[in-house]
C-alpha cells in the first residue's frame, strides 16, 4: 500500500508539475552527489512519501512547541560536553541545522520531533520544580527542598551530570544536593550521579538515594551479562557514528542522543516496594507509584500532592515507546504498562502539572488526563489487536503490516512512532505470547544468512542477474525488497562492492523515510558500515567501572558462564574455589560437560585450585581492567593449588570485544 501511494505521488508530481506547489512539490535532487559520509541523495519516491506525511498530519499544531519553550530560564547556545582529557561527548551546536521546514531527506514528523528535542536549557516546570533538558538523552529534574536540591534522574554520564548541575547552580544558586531519586533502572537515569554528588558527600551528610525495588539488580544485570552485545547494537539504534546532518543523525525520538562518557552508580539507601508509599524528602511530600515491568524492569513514578504535580518517569512520554528495544532487551509487558497508566489516572485525578524523564511538560488537568488516556490505550490496543490477529493465524510480519492505530490515537503526536514503532511493537507482543517461531515449518530451521545468501544468488541466476533485478526494483522505489534481496548477495559475497553500495543506497532511502529516530539511525548506520566498515574499538570497561563494581557478585558468575567457550572446554572437569577476603564470601565454580556452574557455599576440598582474592581485584580481572598476569602476581591474591590449572581455566573464557559485524557476515 505504501509503495502504491509513493508511485501515485511520483506520477502526480511528474504530470502536474508546479500547478500546485504545496500539494505536488517537484523534486529535482535525486542526482545530487553523495554527502561527506557517502550517503546518497533522497529519491523522488522518498520525496513523495515524505510529502504525504506533511499532508496527513497536523504539523502546524504549535501546542507542543509552546509547552517545550514554557518556563525557560536560560540556555547555552554553545553547549558542548567533553571528558577530562578533552574527548568530545556532546555537541548541541551540531544540531543547528534543525530549523525551518523539513528537508526531503527527513520524515517531516520526525523533523518536528527533532526540533522539539533541540530546545535545551534550564526550565521552571512549576513553583519549586525545575528541569534541565538537552544535556543528555534524558532530563534531569530538580525539586526544591528545605535544605537543598532533590535531584531526579542524574543523566547518563559523570560528564553530562556535572555539566548540567553546574548550569543549575549558575542560574539558581549554589545549594547542596539533599536527595537523589532514580526513577528507573536504565543507565540514562542514574549513570551520571557521580557528576552530581560524590560518594564521600553522600556518606558524610547521609544523603538519601531513593529507587524502586530491584533497582540495583536490574541496573547492573543488562550491562554485566549482555552489555557487550547491547553496546554494539546501540551504535545502530542511537547512531553515534553518523554525521549530524540532513542525511545523517537528527534525533532518537526520545532526545538528541546518548552521552557515551564515564558511567557511575551510587547504591540506593531507600527502596520503594509498593504503590502508595509516602515519604517526606527534605520537607517535600511525595507519593510513589511502583511500576515494575513497565518501560523498565524496575521503575516508579511519583506525585507531589502539595503541587498537584505528577512525574511520569518513562512510563509515559511524548512518543510511542518500545515494547521491544532495537538494542536488544527483554520484551516488555504492554498490559502491565497500560495498567500502570490507568492506575496513575485513578490515583492522581487532580493533577495539574505533568513532567517526565524525557521531553517537555504538560499543564492543565484536562490535557494531562487526555495525554495519559491515549498513552494507556495505545499500549493496550497494540497488545489486544496483535493477539486477536494471531488467534486468526496471522504471523508477526503479517500483523506488523496490517495493524493500524485508530485515528483517535494515530493523530496524537505523543503516540507517534518516534522511538518505538507500531510495527516492531506488534512483533514484540507476538514474541511475548508465542515466541520467535511463527508456526510455519519453513521457518523452523532455516539456513544461516551466509548459506541462504549463496542459495538465493544461485536461484537468481548469479550475482550480476540479481543486481540487475535489484537495481530495477530500486528505480521503482521498492527499497524494502531491494534490502531483502541484496542483503542475501552481500552475505554470499561480502566483498562485492556493487552489492554493498546498492544495499547502502536502499538503506539510505529507508532511513530518510523513517518516522522513528532509531529506525532512521539503524538504516543509516547500516549504510555507513557497508561503506566504511565496522568499529575498530569495542566497549571500554573502565568507563563503566564505577557502575559495575556495585553489581551483585552473582551476576558476574552468570556472565562468566555465558562466556565459557564450550568447544575448548570439552572433556575438561575442574573445580575452582573463589574466596573473597574483603567481603567474607566463598563461591565454588564447577566445570563439567562444557557447562560452568556456580555455588555460594563452603570451599570444595577437592578443588583444583583455590583463589583468595579481593572482590575488586577479581572484577578488575574479569573486566580486563587488570590483566591475568598482573592479577596472579598481586599482593591481593593468594593461590592454593595449581596456578597452571587456574590459568588454563581462565583461558577457556571468551573476551568479546563488541566489534562484531552486523550488516556483513
Q: What is the pLDDT of residues 516-536, one digit of tens each?
A: 999 999 999 999 999 999 999
More confident residue, 511 or 630: 511
What pLDDT sits at residue 26?
56
pLDDT at 608 over 80: yes
Half-sphere exposure of 303 (CA within 13 A, CB side): 21
User: Distances from the Cα of 300 to the Cαs of 40, 125, 287, in angstroms?
Assistant: 44, 20, 10
More confident residue, 637 or 425: 425
**CB neighbour list of residue 609: distance below 8 Å, 6 or more residues apart:** 576, 577, 639, 640, 641, 642, 643, 645, 646, 649
Please name the residues in contact with 299: beta carbons below 8 A apart, sequence gap of 6 or more: 183, 184, 185, 212, 291, 292, 313, 314, 315
| Rounded distance between C-alpha atoms, residue 3 and residue 52, angstroms | 12
The tens digit of pLDDT for each residue in 352-378 reads 999 999 999 999 999 999 999 999 999
Average pLDDT over residues 463-482: 98
CA separation for the pair 563, 62 (Å, rounded): 52
Would the pLDDT of 213 be above 80?
yes
Residue 176: pLDDT above 90? Answer: yes
- Domain spans of the chain? 63-426, 552-650
List pLDDT tens digits, range 261-307.
999 999 999 999 999 999 999 999 999 999 999 999 999 999 999 99
Cβ(573)–Cβ(591) below 8 Å: yes
Q: Taking residues 189-208, what's their average pLDDT?
A: 97
Q: Express each pLDDT in 20-60 by its tens digit.
A: 333 334 566 777 788 877 899 999 999 999 999 999 999 99
Contact, 9 vs 49, CB < 8 A?
yes
> What number does CATH give the domain 63-426?
3.60.15.30
Q: Which residue has the cell 547518563?
A: 156
Q: What is the rounded radius of gyration, in angstroms, for the C-alpha atoms of the chain?
A: 26
For range 468-488, the mean pLDDT? 98
Band (pLDDT 50/70/90 cuts) for residue 625 is: confident
pLDDT of residue 2: 36
When pLDDT is averaged across residues 235-258 and rounded to a whole number, the result is: 96
Positive or negative: CA dihedral 167, 172, 175, 179:
negative
Spatial CA neighbour of 514 closest among 524, 505, 504: 524
The pLDDT value given to residue 280: 98
Percent of the chain clearing pLDDT 90 (strictly above): 84
Average pLDDT over residues 319-348: 96
Q: SS3 for 350? A: coil
What is the average per-residue pLDDT within 469-474?
98
Q: In 3-state terms, what secondary structure has residue 123?
A: strand
Q: Give the residue among 514, 541, 511 at the shortest CA–CA distance from 242.
A: 511
- CA 485-34-462 angle, 5° bins: 25
- For residues 421 and 555, the model is more confident at 421
Supply the pLDDT for residue 27: 66
Confidence bin at 467 (pLDDT 50/70/90)? very high
* Residue 624, phi-psi category: left (phi > 0), alpha (psi -120 to 50), beta (remainder): left
- Give the three cell numbers for residue 643: 596456578
Instruction: Enumerate residues 6+ apart whose C-beta is below 8 A from 86.
Output: none
H or E segment and range at residue 417: none
Range of lowest pLDDT (147-151, 454-458, 623-627): 623-627
User: What's the average model confidence in pLDDT over 407-419?
Assistant: 96
Model confidence over 376-393: pLDDT tens digits?
999 999 999 999 999 999
Question: What pLDDT does residue 548 have?
Answer: 82
Question: CATH assignment of 552-650?
Answer: 3.30.1050.10
Among 361, 403, 364, 408, CA closest to 384: 403
Backbone φ and ψ for 513, nearest 5 degrees, come out as -85, -20
Return mean pLDDT, the chain.
92
Where does the pLDDT of residue 432 fall: very low under 50, low under 70, confident under 90, or very high at 90 and above?
Answer: very high
Report the pLDDT value the prediction gives residue 18, as an integer from 0 to 100: 31
User: If we measure between CA atoms, which residue out of 552, 524, 560, 592 comes closest to residue 237?
Assistant: 524
Closest CA to 26 of 51, 8, 56: 51
pLDDT recorded at residue 17: 30
Given a contact cutoff of 8 angstroms between Cβ atoms, the answer to whether 351 and 303 are in contact is yes
In this prediction, residue 40 carries a pLDDT of 94
Written as one string, the DSSP assignment of 545-607 is: HHHHTTS-HHHHHHHHHHTB-HHHHTT--EEEEEEETTTTEEEEEEEETTEEEEEESSPPTT-
Residue 543: per-residue pLDDT: 79
Amino acid at each position: 500500500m505504501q509503495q502504491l501511494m509513493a508511485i501515485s505521488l511520483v506520477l502526480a508530481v511528474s504530470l502536474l508539475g508546479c500547478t500546485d506547489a504545496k500539494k505536488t512539490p517537484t523534486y529535482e535532487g535525486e542526482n545530487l552527489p553523495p554527502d561527506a559520509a557517502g550517503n546518497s541523495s533522497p529519491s523522488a519516491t522518498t520525496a513523495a512519501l515524505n510529502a504525504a506525511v506533511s499532508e496527513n498530519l497536523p504539523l502546524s499544531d504549535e501546542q507542543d512547541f509552546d509547552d517545550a519553550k514554557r518556563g525557560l530560564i536560560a540556555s547555552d547556545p554553545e553547549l558542548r560536553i567533553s571528558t577530562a582529557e578533552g574527548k568530545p561527548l556532546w555537541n548541541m551546536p551540531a544540531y543547528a541545522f534543525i530549523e525551518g521546514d523539513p528537508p526531503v531527506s527527513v520524515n517531516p514528523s520526525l523533523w518536528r520531533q527533532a526540533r522539539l528535542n533541540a530546545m535545551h536549557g534550564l526550565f521552571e516546570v512549576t513553583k519549586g520544580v525545575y528541569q534541565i533538558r538537552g544535556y543528555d538523552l534524558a532530563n534531569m529534574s530538580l525539586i526544591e527542598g528545605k535544605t537543598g536540591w532533590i535531584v531526579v534522574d542524574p543523566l547518563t554520564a559523570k560528564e553530562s551530570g556535572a555539566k548540567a548541575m553546574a548550569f543549575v547552580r549558575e542560574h539558581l544558586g549554589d545549594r547542596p544536593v539533599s536527595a537523589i531519586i532514580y526513577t528507573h533502572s536504565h543507565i540514562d537515569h542514574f549513570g551520571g550521579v557521580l557528576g552530581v554528588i560524590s560518594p564521600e558527600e553522600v556518606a558524610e551528610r547521609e544523603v538519601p538515594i531513593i529507587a524502586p525495588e530491584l533497582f540495583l539488580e536490574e541496573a547492573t544485570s543488562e550491562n554485566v551479562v549482555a552489555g557487550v552485545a547491547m553496546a554494539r547494537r546501540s551504535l545502530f539504534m542511537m547512531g553515534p557514528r553518523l554525521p549530524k546532518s540532513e542525511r545523517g543523525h537528527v534525533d532518537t525520538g526520545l532526545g538528541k542522543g546518548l552521552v557515551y562518557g564515564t558511567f557511575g552508580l551510587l547504591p540506593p539507601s531507600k527502596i520503594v516496594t509498593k504503590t502508595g508509599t509516602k515519604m517526606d524528602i527534605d520537607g517535600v511530600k511525595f507519593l510513589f507509584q511502583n511500576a515494575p515491568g513497565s518501560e523498565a524492569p524496575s521503575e516508579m513514578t511519583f506525585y507531589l500532592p502539595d503541587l498537584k504535580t505528577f512525574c511520569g518517569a518513562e512510563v509515559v512520554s511524548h512518543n510511542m515507546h518500545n515494547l521491544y528495544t532495537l538494542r536488544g532487551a527483554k520484551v516488555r509487558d504492554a498490559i502491565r504498562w497500560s495498567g500502570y497508566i490507568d492506575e496513575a489516572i485513578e490515583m492522581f485525578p487532580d493533577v495539574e502539572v505533568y513532567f517526565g524523564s524525557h521531553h517537555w511538560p504538560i499543564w492543565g488537568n484536562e490535557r494531562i488526563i487526555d495525554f495519559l488516556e491515549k498513552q494507556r490505550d495505545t499500549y493496550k490496543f497494540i497488545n489486544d489487536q496483535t493477539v486477536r490477529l494471531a488467534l486468526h493465524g496471522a504471523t508477526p510480519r503479517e500483523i506488523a503490516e496490517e495493524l493500524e492505530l485508530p485515528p483517535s490515537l494515530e493523530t496524537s503526536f505523543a503516540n507517534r512512532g518516534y522511538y518505538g514503532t507500531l510495527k516492531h511493537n506488534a512483533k514484540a507482543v507476538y514474541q511475548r505470547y508465542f515466541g520467535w517461531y511463527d508456526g510455519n515449518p519453513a521457518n523452523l530451521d532455516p539456513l544461516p544468512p551466509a548459506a541462504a545468501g549463496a542459495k538465493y544468488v544461485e536461484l537468481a541466476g548469479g550475482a550480476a542477474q540479481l543486481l540487475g533485478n535489484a537495481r530495477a526494483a530500486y528505480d521503482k522505489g521498492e527499497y524494502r525488497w531491494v534490502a531483502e534481496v541484496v542483503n542475501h548477495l552481500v552475505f554470499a559475497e561480502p566483498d562485492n562492492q556493487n552489492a554493498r553500495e546498492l544495499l547502502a543506497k536502499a538503506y539510505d532511502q529507508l532511513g530518510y523515510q523513517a518516522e522513528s529516530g532509531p529506525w532512521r539511525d539503524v538504516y543509516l548506520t547500516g549504510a555507513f558500515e557497508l561503506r566504511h566498515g565496522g568499529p575498530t574499538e569495542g566497549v571500554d570497561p573502565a568507563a563503566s567501572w564505577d557502575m559495575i563494581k556495585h553489581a551483585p557478585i552473582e551476576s558476574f558468575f552468570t556472565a562468566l558462564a555465558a562466556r565459557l567457550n564450550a568447544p575448548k572446554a570439552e572433556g575438561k572437569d575442574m573445580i575452582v574455589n573463589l574466596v573473597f577476603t574483603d567481603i567474607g564470601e566463598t563461591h565454588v565454580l564447577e566445570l563439567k560437560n562444557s557447562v560452568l556452574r556456580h555455588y555460594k557455599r563452603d570451599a570444595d576440598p577437592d578443588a583444583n585450585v583455590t583463589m583468595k582474592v579481593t572482590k575488586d581485584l577479581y572484577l578488575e580481572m574479569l573486566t580486563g581492567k587488570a590483566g591475568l598476569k598482573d592479577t596472579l602476581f598481586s599482593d591481593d591474591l593468594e593461590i592454593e593449588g595449581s596456578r597452571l590449572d587456574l590459568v588454563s581455566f581462565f583461558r577457556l573464557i571468551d573476551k568479546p570485544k563488541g566489534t562484531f559485524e552486523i550488516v556483513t557476515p
